[in-house]
Amino acid sequence: MLSMLIIDDDEASSRTLKLHFSDRGFDVRTANSADGGLAMIVDKTADIVISDIRMPGRDGLSLLREIRENYPDVPVIMITAFHDMENTIAAMQGGATDYIAKPIDLEELEAAIDRAVLVREGETSDSLELGLGDVRSTIIGQSHAMKEVFKSIGMVSQGRVTVMVLGESGTGKELVARAIHNASPERDQPFIPVNCAALVETLLESEMFGHERGAFTGAVSSRKGKVALAGKGTLFLDEVAELSPRMQGKLLRLLEEREFTPVGGSKLMTSEARFITATNVNLTERVAEGEFREDLYYRLNVVSISLPPLRERREDIPDLVEYLLKKTNKDMRKGVRRITADVMETLMNYDWPGNIRQLENALIKAVVMAPGDSLSVVQLPGILDSDNGIAKPERVLHTSDPSAQARSLKDLERDHIEDVLRRTGWHKGQACEILGISRPRLERRIKEHGLTR
């Protein structure tokens, strides 16, 4: 019988988990503090540990580090109600086997335990021992897809492995690259971005590798390139699919030999930079068509992180809107803090082909047009129109309509979920498809908002 230790100051949650997993054949013990849990491990080791992060006294991340140091073979699954990017990355960097957000989805937890058992038996790769970096919370999202992205950032950030970030235009690929850099031991070194599609080949070569004085007309002095400026930090190559065949060859040599030569120079120079690339095209198709070198593709695609388009993570839109409104207010010196139900409905129903970048641009334009401290649908028609595939709201509210009064994001979420359930006749499968969320998450939202048929 496998033993399980649950460490959580929420006794009700601990009891529920103990009953659930005892019924499934585990020998379950519980502790309500990190120190209490550690004492239990010292007394009798556990096959699996499930620990909360935020507890009175020592927190779960400190406990995780001690377990990793003294009991490296014990898989630890972290749980928390504070499921942001920093906590996810910190848990994965600290060596957690997995990370589950509260309220706990038992199916998700059971899947994590299955993986933990495999780790315990040595059938999967071991956990990483990493240090927590100064990660800024610039990536917004609580959807399952984004949690997987956060986990990937935490797992790849410490090593010098080359990473390829995949995703449509506007999904935030550079933010992911910066998050990896900021969570790495080299966070104090430079992060140098290069847009491979922004310059013609000759200028791009000089931009990347630098040039010597007199290398070309206008080269009145020597200049370091981006590769040299990156030092031991991170070189981020955006739109890498747009490199010419000649530049692909130079990049391949840089990756294989860690050597490069400035334009007009003869002296070989070396690079210690970490490489992260990004593309919004299917590189395997480019390789098949002979437009991208296969050997370079495999050099770049050692580890890949795929960013979902916004239409596949619609549940993140309210949080994104809140974050982007705050950012826009600061940048534009405006004071828009509320939006009407129809505005949120329009934003939630649109497919956003330009993803988060398009959402931000739409909000900036709307904020500029807003006369007061709230956004109504009146500000949207000139920004979002049906010719671009925008889902128009079913009705346009006049500002005198009482229902157009600004509402909190929580109220708007409740109204939107209730409306979708009503339209689908409370068919929860169809509602999940429209809302872009899982069945357990929908059930939690129904309970949280007190929705009834």
CATH number at residue 97: 3.40.50.2300
Q: Check residue 237 and give its pLDDT.
A: 95
Instruction: Indicate whether 301 and 315 sit together in one domain.
Output: no
What is the Rg, in whole angstroms, of the alpha carbon atoms belonging to the chain? 25
- Give the C-alpha separation, 231 to 272, whole Å: 6
- Please name the residues in contact with 443: beta carbons below 8 A apart, sequence gap of 6 or more: 428
Q: Residue 93 — pLDDT band, cuts 50, 70, 90? A: confident
- Domain end: 285, 308, 331, which one? 308
Instruction: Indicate whether 170 and 119 sit together in one domain.
Output: no
Q: Check residue 129 and give its pLDDT.
A: 28
Question: For the chain, how many helices (H) and strands (E)?
Answer: 18, 14
Q: Check residue 402 and give its pLDDT.
A: 42
Could you give phi then psi for residue 2, rounded to 5 degrees?
Answer: -75, 140
- Strand pairing class (259-260; 269-270): antiparallel
Instruction: Indicate whether 204 and 269 sit together in one domain.
Output: yes
Residue range 356-361: mean pLDDT, rounded: 90
Q: Which of 21, 85, 57, 271 is nearest to 160 (CA)?
A: 271
Q: Check residue 278 and give its pLDDT.
A: 96
Instruction: Look up tokens 């499930």; give the residue.
Output: 50
Instruction: Indicate whether 15 and 109 sit together in one domain.
Output: yes
Q: Check residue 120 and give its pLDDT.
A: 60
Judge whether 153 lies within some domain.
no
Length in residues, the chain: 453
Judge whether 149 lies within some domain.
no
Q: Residue 224 — pLDDT band, cuts 50, 70, 90? A: confident
- Give the C-alpha separation, 197 to 216, whole Å: 21
Instruction: Indicate whether 35 and 64 sit together in one domain.
Output: yes
- Domain end: 143, 172, 204, which one? 143
Judge whether 118 lies within some domain.
yes
Q: HSE of 301 in the Cβ direction (CA atoms, 13 Å)?
A: 16
Q: Check residue 86 and give its pLDDT.
A: 77
Q: Check residue 118 and give its pLDDT.
A: 62
Judge whether 150 lies within some domain.
no
What is the extent of the structural domain holding 444?
311-449
Instruction: Indicate whether 68 and 29 sit together in one domain.
Output: yes
Residue range 81-107: mean pLDDT, rounded: 79
For the chain, the maximum distance between any two Cα atoms, rounded to a whole number of angstroms, is 78
Q: Check residue 121 and give its pLDDT.
A: 55
Contacts 24+ apart (CB under 8 A), 420-428: 421/446, 421/451, 421/453, 426/453
Instruction: Indicate whether 284 and 329 sit together in one domain.
Output: no
Q: HSE of 9 in the Cβ direction (CA atoms, 13 Å)?
A: 13
Assigned token pair, 272:
């210690």
- Give the C-alpha separation, 300 to 8, whole Å: 42
Judge whether 154 lies within some domain.
no
Beta-bridged to residue 237, according to DSSP, are 194, 277
Instruction: Indicate whether 120 and 190 sit together in one domain.
Output: no
- Give the C-alpha separation, 258 to 230, whole Å: 13
Instruction: Indicate whether 304 and 316 sit together in one domain.
Output: no
Q: Check residue 399 and give its pLDDT.
A: 37
Q: Residue 128 — pLDDT band, cuts 50, 70, 90? A: very low
Residue range 88-107: mean pLDDT, rounded: 81
Instruction: Indicate whether 323 and 301 sit together in one domain.
Output: no
Residue range 381-392: mean pLDDT, rounded: 48
What residue type is assigned to position 107 of the chain? E
- Give the C-alpha separation, 114 to 340, whole Å: 44
Instruction: Indicate whether 304 and 169 sit together in one domain.
Output: yes
Higher pLDDT, 200 or 254: 254
Range of weakest confidence among 30-39, 102-111, 247-256, 374-383: 374-383
Judge whether 151 lies within some domain.
no
Judge whether 281 lies within some domain.
yes
Q: Could you report how far apart the first and last alpha carbons of the chain are, in Å? A: 43
Q: Which of 107, 167, 99 is nearest to 139 (CA)?
A: 167
CATH of the domain at 435: 1.10.8.60
Q: What is the pTM of this model?
A: 0.61
Residue range 157-167: mean pLDDT, rounded: 92
> DSSP string of 342-356?
HHHHHHHH---TTHH
Residue range 69-76: mean pLDDT, rounded: 87
What's the number of domains the chain is made of?
3
Q: Check residue 84 and give its pLDDT.
A: 65
- Domain end: 257, 285, 308, which one? 308
The answer to whether the beta carbons of residues 101 and 160 sit under 8 Å apart is: no
Instruction: Indicate whether 198 and 298 sit together in one domain.
Output: yes
Average pLDDT, the chain: 82
Q: Check residue 220 and give its pLDDT.
A: 64
Beta-bridged to residue 305, according to DSSP, are 165
Judge whether 76 lies within some domain.
yes
